[in-house]
Structure 1
Amino acid sequence: MGKDFHIRLAQAADEIAVRECAERAYERYVAAMGKKPAPMVADFASMIASGVVHVAVERDAEVLGFIVFYHMGEHVLLENVAVRPDAEGQGVGKRLIAFCEAEAKRSNAKSIKLYTNEKMIENLFIYPHLGYRETERKTEDGFNRVFFEKPI
């Protein structure tokens, strides 16, 4: 594995790999949260069919990670970004987020909004480092979420 990968729109055949990636990336948070994080139970088949999932794929077509984003009015909601644990630290997540940002800019979105769980401590440091600012904290769908936004 390495940094030699490309990002493309997910296809129906990617659903199993996307689901496995989500489960592996988020399983470490189940104990701290007391339940599975939302991405572990997401309906990836319908998201993929809707064209809102992109995958980071190695030359051998192995999915290293994925990102889910879509327009909400004048903004883009970055709903989920996940990287397989064995691919962490290789820039996959950063490139997926940069891809989302480039697409948002291309479509003239005003900003990118996202949220994370307060138990995902590393995200509370990563997103500000990438230029996102915290906008609020609230409980939503039974999860304690931290919301961020980045102007485009």
Structure 2
Amino acid sequence: MADEEIRPAGAADVPAVADVIDAAFRPYIERIGRVPQPMEEIHPTAHGGGVGRRLLRFVDAHARALGLPEVRLYTNALMWENQKIYPRYGYELVERRVSGPYDRMHYRKRLL
């Protein structure tokens, strides 16, 4: 997996992306009470393999290349697993915001 390129998904990737979304969100549906809003997800079989770390590094590098001062992301307040990961990679909690049925924790990482 470490040698695989990070690239935008194309039409041919739709079935694989749908599988990842289904597998990644399935455990959260009961906890949250609904399907989570779309966000970057990693298939559960890839957890612990460094894929998330690579994605976060990719995002940081891309944002720096664009000259952006920070990266922002959010996760559902009931996805506490994510809330443990982001601070390890330099993200700080900015605010908790409820929008309709979604309760989100918003994070940022300053790049400059």
TM over 0.5: yes
| 3-state SS in 1 of match to 2:29 | helix
Answering whether residue 21 of structure 2 is matched by residue 22 of structure 1, we say yes
Report the identity percentage.
37
The residue identity in structure 2 corresponding to 1:100 is V
Partner residue in 1 for 2:83:
124
Partner AA of 1:95 in structure 2:
R
Q: Give me the whole-angstrom Cα distance separating, in 2, the residues matched to 1:8 and 1:140.
A: 30
Structure 2 counterpart of 1:34: 33
Q: Who is 1:91 aligned against?
A: 50
Contact 1:25 / 1:85 at 8 angstroms: preserved in 2? yes
TM-score (norm 2): 0.92
Q: Which has the higher strand share?
A: 1
After TM superposition, give the deviation of residue 9 of structure 1 in Å.
2.1
Query: Are 1:111 and 2:70 an aligned pair?
Result: yes
TM-score by length of 1: 0.69
More helix by share: 2
Give RMSD over aligned pairs: 1.2
Tell me the CA shift for residue 35 of structure 1.
0.8
| Aligned partner letter, 2:95 | E
- Structure 1 gaps of 5+ residues are 40-79
Q: Which runs of 4+ in 1 moved over 4 A?
A: none
How many residues are matched? 111
- Residue 106 of structure 2: aligned partner: 147
Q: Which amino acid aligns with 1:10?
A: A
Alpha-carbon distance between aligned partners in 2 of 1:90 and 1:25, rounded to the nearest angstrom: 15
Which secondary structure state, in structure 1, belongs to the residue aligned with residue 97 of structure 2? strand
